[in-house]
Structure 1
Amino acid sequence: MDVRLGGETGGRCEQLSSLALRCAERLRVPFRDFYRELIIPILYEGRTVPKGRGLPMNSTVDGMLESAELWVRAMNTVMARSDLRRATLLPWRDTFAPRALAKRFRAWCPQCLHDFLTDGAIVYEPLAWRVAEVAVCPHHRVLLEFECPFCGRGRQPSFGAYTRVGCCRRCGKWLGRDVAPQVSMSDEDQEMFCARSVEEILALSDVEHEVNPIASDIAVRAIRDVFYDGSSAQMARALGVLPSQIVHFAAGTFPAPLHLFVRASYTTGATMEQMFLTNDFDGESPVKKEYEYEIRRSVPQRVQMSRDLVERLGEALEGDGSKSIQHIADSLHITATTVWRRERELATRLARQHAAYAVKERQRQKDQYRSNVVAFLIACRDQGVSPGRRRIDEECGGAGRFASDWKRSVIRQARAEVFGLFPDAWDDTDEAGLGQVS
């Protein structure tokens, strides 16, 4: 299949899930059919496909676990290629700890998507957006977005039955747009430095041939011995981790997380190429800069979900009441029932607040509709015409058909007010109006 991999050089390589969606677009079929007809037979080769097998909504096919291996094999077969490991984090399996390395849900830079489209380039989603440590776009100095600005759906999965690259997985609307850069971000900002470092790392594996990065324990020992005088405690204090963790990382008990190497690069000035390909640090360089890092501790997914839910509900309660329980549920990609079950008290308060807001908003919309009707009828009167009810409704933002009783009432009263006639003098079924006004 002749579909070119987006951003093939420079650390902006396309993520595998984005490539799969573009393949479905090239074949002009929904992704659901592409998955069923081409991917599933390879994923379950020699095995029975589970009955009712749906789309892989929760698997991270761009990471470094088994699902990524299976998808790389399937996509290599479909596209007659052999180098699609670089569209995932698989080349770094022996270097970084897999836990929480890749985001389970989508993130995107709206400005990047907008530029891809307006420049006539390949519209794709870079692999760097999938890395959990990346929260900003280093090219436009804006925060990555996680929620659709139109429908509010967050925690979006990689795939959907009819979705396309750069579009919302729920409402299907295009997510690219012009956004103002956040000028407060400098190149020395931690988030900016992290995003650039991740792209530097991915550039090392974004090659057609197989790359063999230095193993995690060797890289940790080299950094410790060169920059911290072989002291695990000194290195731990500088990088915001526990000394026992450095000991285990250096011993190869388990691989070090990505953020440890990013912090080491920031404080020592060592490049990613030096740490993972050459181990040549040009002698004993002094520590470049100091930064007080917070010690990270792993949090179970269920606990993190509860924290996120409480935070979202708290933010909504501090607002004007426009966010409903369903909006909160959509932003976290859970059901409204789950919100009620986990945080009944906060959900009750928000429901009451939103109900009061809904009443006020409905009244505001009615007042606005009446103002629009009166303004339109005055303009028609000045032109000497009298429009019918359906045309009035259409011109004032309605559908023109199936108008509600309150709209009929508003139109009758506005006609009487503008044209000086009694409401009963108007035929409510009149579609053409009363013609010319004398």
Structure 2
Amino acid sequence: MEIIQEKGCNQLVNKDVSQLYSLKLMAMSSSLSESLPSYIMRLAMSHSVTVGSLIQYEIIPKLKLNGKPSNLYNKIIRMSSSSMLSRELNRVLTELSGNNDLRLLNFINYFSKSKTFKNSRTWCPHCLEQFKLEGRIIYEPLIWNFSIVEFCKKHKYPLQKKCPNCRQEMHLITPTSIPGYCSKCRCWLGDTNSYPKNLHIEEEQWHWWVYDNIAELISELPRISQINLNELIANNLKKIMNYYPGSMRKFAQLVELPYGSLYALVNKDVRPNLNLLLRVGYCIGLTIKLIATEQLMLDRAEIILSRQPAKKHTPINRTIDWELCEQRLNAAILDSFPPSIHEIAIQVSVWSETLSRHFPEKVRDIVAKRREFIRRRSLKKELEEQEEIERTVIKIYHRGKYPTRRSVSHEMGREWLFKKKSNYVAWEKAVLSLGLKLNYKKF
């Protein structure tokens, strides 16, 4: 608070007042700390505006970056991994909301931007459903956004990336994003009954080790922001390789990393690649927190290769009842209106793609039969609607009024009725059959 004297008057000016609501980050300094895209969504909701409006009218005008507003808008919507854009976005949001904790979420300041974060949203439906049942604020944790995190350790369930309703992937943030909901069809993403169950995980030890290390790293964000991460990691890795028998090239072969990638990790001038650092730590049995935030002692640096490197691609091993899958598909073929492949997949606890890959002919038959049924049902509904239009036109005419399209749509209670060309043609035929002239002005 500051006192300004002007023309003999004392005026109180509060320089700490923020332009936008000063929302707090959810679960700050914990393993489930909120992500930046989720914070932007909640900030927009708190002001009763869309994310697109918040970005266009509040954030972009304050960005100190060159480029057209439309280009900057698209980059922010796609959550570009540009370090300059990320820093500017954090700066503007901190200035607008007055929340200094947002600076801690700028991971690009600490680690390489290469494949650190995913390009699309992922979520654990069980976590979202738990938030909802417990009456907590719905948000999306930062740990879900890391490209190397594929599972939720709490619920032992793979993170989902496709909406259970429209089966579409989503960007990290879109103009209409809402935490916990699909940005395309508005479906609730926490409906656990819409996802396969009883999924078995291969290489559990690797996945849980990654999850624990990332969670520990997120909880250490306040401390990480105050240390020279590049120099500390480089010095610790050099200690490890000095006490490990063999050259750096041999060490790179043992942990199955390219020599150039390992060399980059020990370079103080290059931001460390988090995914590569996790693989090295897993092989030598040291946590990322120990390597990145502490000075290794000599006794800790006597490293023995304790575990084999994790595979780059870790498939999910599912116990599948193929006979049950075939039975459900055969039953669907005999049904007059078969369920969708997605619904069948949920019943047998597999992915839709798995059924399509192992039973391509049956899946094609079911899809074709379902589409044909939907086409005929739509056609029947369309004909019934046209007949109702004709009856309504006659009904209005007998009242002594001209049956305009507006009066017909109002009578039927469907304002969108004549957006369909077929309904428009049906109205014309009904009016002409009564010997009336078409009056297009009276709508």
Category of TM-score, reference length = shorter chain: 0.5 to 0.7
Do the aligned residues in 1 keep the contact of 2:52 with 2:176 (CA within 8 Å)?
A: yes
- Cα distance in 2 for residues equivalent to 1:255 and 1:163: 31
Check if 1:218 corresponds to 2:218.
no
For residue 124 of structure 1, what is the aligned residue in structure 2? Answer: 139
For residue 311 of structure 1, what is the aligned residue in structure 2? Answer: none
Counterpart residue identity of residue 141, structure 1: K
SS in 2 for 1:83: helix
Do the aligned residues in 1 keep the contact of 2:78 with 2:173 (CA within 8 Å)?
A: no
Task: Name which of structure 1's ranges 21-30 and 82-91 shifts more when overlaid on structure 2.
Answer: 82-91
Deviations 1:43-82 (A, max 9, x none): 157x685368644466436x56122111101110111122
Check if 1:104 corresponds to 2:119.
yes
Tell me the C-alpha RMSD between the 2 structures: 4.0
Deviation at 1:98, TM superposition (A): 2.0
Q: 1:52 to 1:105 in 2, by over 3 A?
A: closer
What percentage of residue pairs aligned between the two structures are identical? 19
Match of 1:42 among 42, 58, 62: 62
SS in 1 for 2:140: coil
Check if 1:60 corresponds to 2:41.
no
Match of 2:42 among 19, 22, 40: 22
Q: 1:210 to 1:20 in 2, by over 3 A?
A: farther
- Cα distance in 2 for residues equivalent to 1:239 and 1:208: 26
- Cα distance in 1 for residues equivalent to 2:157 and 2:107: 24
Match of 2:275 among 255, 259, 264: 259
Do the aligned residues in 2 keep the contact of 1:15 with 1:125 (CA within 8 Å)?
A: yes
For residue 394 of structure 1, what is the aligned residue in structure 2? Answer: none
Do the aligned residues in 2 keep the contact of 1:239 with 1:293 (CA within 8 Å)?
A: no
For residue 291 of structure 1, what is the aligned residue in structure 2? Answer: 308
SS in 1 for 2:266: helix
Deviation at 1:359, TM superposition (A): 4.0
> Which blocks of at least 5 consecutive residues in structure 1 are unaligned?
297-318, 325-349, 370-397, 409-438
Q: 1:113 to 1:281 in 2, by over 3 A?
A: farther
User: 1:408-423 counterparts in 2 under 5 A?
Assistant: none
Q: 1:100 to 1:49 in 2, by over 3 A?
A: same
Deviation at 1:34, TM superposition (A): 1.3
Do the aligned residues in 1 keep the contact of 2:249 with 2:259 (CA within 8 Å)?
A: yes
Do the aligned residues in 2 keep the contact of 1:141 with 1:181 (CA within 8 Å)?
A: no
- Cα distance in 2 for residues equivalent to 1:52 and 1:248: 32
For residue 376 of structure 1, what is the aligned residue in structure 2? Answer: none
Q: 1:269 to 1:64 in 2, by over 3 A?
A: farther
- Cα distance in 2 for residues equivalent to 1:295 and 1:160: 30
SS in 2 for 1:140: coil
Counterpart residue identity of residue 148, structure 2: E
Check if 1:76 corresponds to 2:131.
no
> Which blocks of at least 5 consecutive residues in structure 2 are unaligned?
1-20, 314-328, 334-339, 343-359, 389-443
For residue 158 of structure 2, what is the aligned residue in structure 1? Answer: 143
Counterpart residue identity of residue 114, structure 1: E
- Cα distance in 2 for residues equivalent to 1:224 and 1:366: 66
Do the aligned residues in 1 keep the contact of 2:77 with 2:175 (CA within 8 Å)?
A: no
Do the aligned residues in 1 keep the contact of 2:24 with 2:99 (CA within 8 Å)?
A: no
Do the aligned residues in 2 keep the contact of 1:11 with 1:204 (CA within 8 Å)?
A: no
Deviation at 1:147, TM superposition (A): 0.7
Do the aligned residues in 1 keep the contact of 2:60 with 2:73 (CA within 8 Å)?
A: no
Deviation at 1:165, TM superposition (A): 1.1
Do the aligned residues in 2 keep the contact of 1:60 with 1:102 (CA within 8 Å)?
A: no
For residue 356 of structure 2, what is the aligned residue in structure 1? Answer: none
Q: 1:186 to 1:8 in 2, by over 3 A?
A: farther
Q: 1:33 to 1:207 in 2, by over 3 A?
A: farther
For residue 171 of structure 2, what is the aligned residue in structure 1? Answer: 157
Deviation at 1:111, TM superposition (A): 1.1
Q: 1:123 to 1:150 in 2, by over 3 A?
A: same
For residue 171 of structure 1, what is the aligned residue in structure 2? Answer: 185
Deviation at 1:130, TM superposition (A): 1.2
- Cα distance in 2 for residues equivalent to 1:275 and 1:236: 17
Counterpart residue identity of residue 190, structure 2: G
Do the aligned residues in 2 keep the contact of 1:32 with 1:55 (CA within 8 Å)?
A: no
Match of 2:219 among 203, 220, 231: 203
Q: 1:48 to 1:133 in 2, by over 3 A?
A: closer
**Between Structure 1 and Structure 2, how many residues are aligned?**
325
Q: TM-score under structure 1 normalisation?
A: 0.63
Check if 1:247 corresponds to 2:263.
yes
Deviation at 1:243, TM superposition (A): 3.2
Q: 1:256 to 1:35 in 2, by over 3 A?
A: closer
Q: 1:243 to 1:295 in 2, by over 3 A?
A: farther
Deviations 1:278-301 (A, max 9, x none): 1224614442622155579xxxxx
Do the aligned residues in 1 keep the contact of 2:240 with 2:303 (CA within 8 Å)?
A: no
For residue 384 of structure 1, what is the aligned residue in structure 2? Answer: none
Task: Name which of structure 1's ranges 8-17 and 243-252 shifts more when overlaid on structure 2.
Answer: 243-252
Q: TM-score under structure 2 normalisation?
A: 0.62
Deviation at 1:323, TM superposition (A): 7.7
For residue 420 of structure 2, what is the aligned residue in structure 1? Answer: none
